[in-house]
Amino acid sequence: MRVIEPWVAEPLQRFLTESSARLALLMTASGQVVAQHGFTRALDVMSASALGAAIVASTEELARQMGAGPFRALSHQGQTQGLFLSAFAVPRARWIVLVVYDSDSSLGLVQLFFDQLVRELQAAAPDGEAPREVLAADFETELNASLRSLFGR
C-alpha cells in the first residue's frame, strides 16, 4: 500500500485486511490519487483514477437530472471480480474510493467495511484549510510527485 496523506494509511490498511479487497484506490473528486493498494503500474493508477472520477461525476449528474439524490455507490459484478465505487465526504474535501475484489471477498463485505473506513477517515482527517487547487501549470509536477510517492520511484 502507498499513501500520499499519511493519516490515511491506518484506516485503509484496516479496510484492506478486513474486506480482503484486491485493489483499492482512494482519490479526490477530481481524480488526484491519495492512496493505492495493489496496483503495480503508474499508468494503471492514472487510468483508474481518471475513469473512477469520471464515472462518479457522470452518475451524480445523471442522478441530478433524474431528480434523485446522489447515488450512494456503484458496483459491477463480473464472473470472477467485482468493482465497487463510491464517493464520500471527509472534513476538507470529497473523496472517491474504487475497490476491486475477487472470490476472497464479496460486495457485502466491501460495503460493510467501506462504511467503517469512511467513519475512520472522517475521524482521522486533520483540521486545516481545504487543499489548494492544482493549476494546469503545476499539474505535471504534482502528478510526478504523487506517482513517486505511490510507487517509490
Partner 1 sequence: MTTGLGAALEPITRVRGVRGAMIVSATEGILVAEAVMEGVDAQAVAALAAGLAARLRRATDAAGRGAPVFIHLEAEAGAILAVPGERDLLVVAVTQADVNVGLVRLELRRAADRLA
Q: Give the footprint of partner 1 on this chain (CB under 8 A).
A: 20, 77, 82, 103, 105-109, 111-112
Nearer to partner 1, 13 or 20 (CB): 20
Q: How far is the CB of 106 from partner 1 (least distance, A)?
A: 3
Pairwise CA distance, residues 80 & 73, whole Å? 20
Q: How far is the CB of 108 from partner 1 (least distance, A)?
A: 3
Q: How far is the CB of 75 from partner 1 (least distance, A)?
A: 9
Give which of 117, 116, 120 is closest to 25, Cα–Cα. Answer: 117
Nearer to partner 1, 109 or 134 (CB): 109
Nearer to partner 1, 65 or 103 (CB): 103
Nearer to partner 1, 78 or 126 (CB): 78
